Amino acid sequence: MSTLREKITFILTALVYVLFHLRVGADLGAVATGTAYQVLLTAPYALGFTYIVAVVFRRLSGKGWLPWDRLMRVFFTVGILFAFFFALYEYAGQGLPADQREAANKSSATRFFEDVIQKVR
C-alpha cells in the first residue's frame, strides 16, 4: 500500500464492508449489537473463502503469500458478498403480510395435505 490511491480504495472497501453488515434497530445499542452479530456470523465464511482464494493465487503465481493489504481486500470483498446474501435471506419475508408469510414457510406437501383434508370434510 504505497500510493494514496491504494490507501483510499482500501479504506473505501473497508467502509463498504461495514455498510453491508450494518443492521438497523430501534436505538444505537440495537444497531451495534445487530451489526456485531452480522459481522461475527459472516466472518468464518469470509475467512475460509479468503484462505482458499489466497492458496489458489499462491499456487498459480508460484510465489509466496499475497501482501496483507491484498488479503484484506479479498476478505472485505468476500465478506460483502456474504453480507449481501445473508441480508437478502433475513429481509426476504418481511414485506409479506402475516398470512402469506406463514403460507410461504409451510412446505408444499403440508399445504397439499391440508387441502385434501379440507375437501374430505
Q: What's residue 89's pLDDT? A: 81
3 state DSSP class of 2:
coil
Q: Find how far residue 40's CA is from the centre of its chain.
A: 10
- Total-model pTM: 0.71
Q: Where are the domains of the chain?
A: 4-95
How many angstroms separate the Cα of 63 from the Cα of each of 55, 57, 75, 90, 97? 11, 9, 20, 40, 55
For the stretch 23-72, pLDDT in tens is 888 889 888 998 999 899 899 999 999 999 999 999 998 888 888 999 99
Q: What is the pLDDT of residue 94?
A: 64
Instruction: Pull the grid cell for residue 14.
Output: 473497508
